[in-house]
Amino acid sequence: MSKIYNVGIIGGGISGSVTALQLAQYGIDNILFEQGESLVNGPPFCHLHAGGNLYPDISIEQCKQLMRQSIEMARLFPQSIDERPTFISVPKSENLDVNAIEDKLKLLANYYQELVDEDASNEVLGNPANYYKVYTHEDLVSLAKQATVKRPKSHDEWMANAIKYIDYEKLKMPVFLVEEYGWNLFRVAAQAQLALTKAKECTLQTNTKVTNIRDVRGQNLDYNWEISTKDAVYKVKYLVNSSGYNTANVDEYLQLNANRLIEYKAAYISKWHSIPGLIPEMIFHGERGSTHGMAQLTPYNNDYYQIHGMTKDITLFDNGLIQSKEDVSPAEFDPAIQQKLARKWNQKEIDERTQSAIRYTSQYVPSFKSATVGGPPLHGAQQIPGDDPNRRVGEVCFPCESYARSEIVKASSALTVAMQIIQKMQEENIIPAFQSNAKQNALLDSISKTEIDNLASELASQRGYPGSLSRLLIKRE
Ligand SMILES: Cc1cc2nc3c(=O)[nH]c(=O)nc-3n(C[C@H](O)[C@H](O)[C@H](O)COP(=O)(O)OP(=O)(O)OC[C@H]3O[C@@H](n4cnc5c(N)ncnc54)[C@H](O)[C@@H]3O)c2cc1C
């Protein structure tokens, strides 16, 4: 008789990979199907949303959730975290109230302190008293005269380095520095892939697309689902759908559906001239989807920068947001977006959109106009459960027995989802009850920095990006 697995996971993005890792950590055998060549190769991520400060329009509750989840992920994947702060500002042309940002930051700093009081190992964003710092116009004038430091250590040093490049007369005062860090997706991918390849409890099936699922729950067998691929049928007791923006396709096999939005977005890779000291990530807020949406400049190693501009000719796209409704076949993107999703961007559009992104950023960072195209865009589609496009925390739902559908909106929710699935499996008696320490994973810890460095660089090149994108700005030991 062929093997019966406790869990079958469809999709090896961050959600499916972290679920497989947590299951393996507790000795629960699972099989992970990923149609692509390697893990964590879907929509990108670059920012650890440890406080949701890129989203002034979301509730403090969502901000706190993002902070808690981000801290958990930083504890699991420390080698992927780039410990440089984020500069947050509001241009004078925007309606947004800077005082509201400051009020939120105070609440978040208190919440971070609570998390550290709960567990000292949560202190991954530095001392809670230094979670953020507020800068007035006067402060900036004075810091602009301070010498540049190659490797800034204090908020003032980071700000002194950055402010020399920023046209701060265009910004409302005050501006802020906050301990929201960079998050390197190539390094997460490498660490997850290395750990799952080693894990004896996980059967890792890359290059393997799931083509059908049969529900055999009513047949009194020792398993509940048959998962088909081109070459074989696998028996599993519990099914996890973590197929990202394709969750609706998997639901269709089960004749289930739900309301959800799917959004396609892209960020652009540029190369700038060398500058003498490290600078923070820079955020210039704006109304999403308008011609003056947020600009985000993310520094990478070796003078590469990633740019988001929340306008339709940069990060967002006409017809880039589609909606699937319950009881209706999954919605599909138009052919132009489908072509991009298939990684067939045409070079002219890469150049035009990257150059638009560079021009857009140089409104606030004038000398950045000399930057050039540095590689193909980092792009992809993600699902948002329900019908609120501003939702930033999604989790998991259990539409029927022995089935979980992961619906994360930010990569940081992956561990929360994994633990909710494990709890549900215990409630359904698929696996025995056990005490867990979700924030530790011996499998991930067993992977060395050198192994991560090597595979992360290989994955970046395999995927067509400069190898430097797999390196951190601030090396960790
Ligand atoms: C431009 C952009 C920037 C972003 N920036 C950030 C950020 O800075 N920080 C952040 O936290 N989040 C960010 N996000 C969101 C983040 O990328 C997603 O929330 C996250 O990657 C989703 O992970 P996932 O595992 O749910 O889905 P995915 O990564 O999409 O994984 C699903 C996997 O399932 C596989 N699959 C699908 N169907 C099948 C099948 N039938 N058989 C086998 N395999 C299958 C796919 O190949 C894919 O690998 C960003 C998103 C975009 C688009």
User: What pLDDT, on a 0 to 100 scale, did the predictor assign at position 438?
Assistant: 72
**Ligand 1 in contact with 394 (CB < 6 A)?**
no
Ligand 1 centroid–CA 12 distance in Å is: 9
Tens of pLDDT, residue by residue over 150-204, are 999 999 999 999 999 999 999 999 999 999 999 999 999 999 999 999 999 999 9
**Ligand 1 in contact with 33 (CB < 6 A)?**
yes
Tens of pLDDT, residue by residue over 381-390, are 998 887 777 7
Superfamily the domain 60-183+260-381 falls into: D-Amino Acid Oxidase, subunit A, domain 2 (3.30.9.10)
- Domain locations along the chain: 4-43+186-258+389-470, 60-183+260-381
The number of the ligand 1 atom at minimal distance from the alpha carbon of 409 is 19
DSSP states of 120-158: GGG--SS-GGGSEEEE-HHHHHHHTTSPP-SS--SHHHH
Pick the CATH number of 4-43+186-258+389-470 from 3.30.1330.10, 3.40.50.620, 3.50.50.60, 3.10.20.30: 3.50.50.60
Taking the C-alpha atoms of residue 406 and residue 404, their distance in angstroms, rounded to an integer, is 6
Ligand 1 centroid–CA 322 distance in Å is: 16
Going residue by residue through the chain, which has 477 residues, state the pLDDT in tens, using 9 for 90 and above.
Answer: 689 999 999 999 999 999 999 999 999 999 999 999 999 999 999 999 999 999 998 999 999 999 999 999 999 999 999 999 999 999 999 999 999 999 999 999 999 999 999 999 999 999 999 999 999 999 999 999 999 999 999 999 999 999 999 999 999 999 999 999 999 999 999 999 999 999 999 999 999 999 999 999 999 999 999 999 999 999 999 999 999 999 988 998 998 878 888 999 999 999 999 999 999 999 999 999 999 999 999 999 999 999 999 999 999 999 999 987 776 677 899 999 999 999 999 999 999 999 999 999 999 999 999 999 999 999 999 988 877 777 666 689 999 999 999 999 999 999 999 999 999 999 999 998 887 777 778 999 999 999 999 999 999 999 999 999 999 999 886
- Nearest Cα residue to 148 out of 162, 136, 127: 162
Tens of pLDDT, residue by residue over 344-374, are 999 999 999 999 999 999 999 999 999 999 9
Q: What are phi and psi of 292, to 5 degrees?
A: -125, 45
Percent of the chain at pLDDT exceeding 70:
98
**Ligand 1 in contact with 67 (CB < 6 A)?**
no
Is the CB of residue 434 less than 8 Å from the CB of residue 422?
no
Pick the residue whose CA is nearest to atom 26 on ligand 1.
Answer: 244
- Measured in residues, the chain has a length of 477
The number of the ligand 1 atom at minimal distance from the alpha carbon of 380 is 53
Ligand 1 centroid–CA 261 distance in Å is: 14
**Ligand 1 in contact with 405 (CB < 6 A)?**
no
CA 184 to chain centre: 9
In the chain, the largest separation of any two C-alpha atoms, in whole Å, equals 76
DSSP states of 270-283: EE----SS---EEE
Residue whose structure tokens are 């028996």 = 235
**Ligand 1 in contact with 160 (CB < 6 A)?**
no
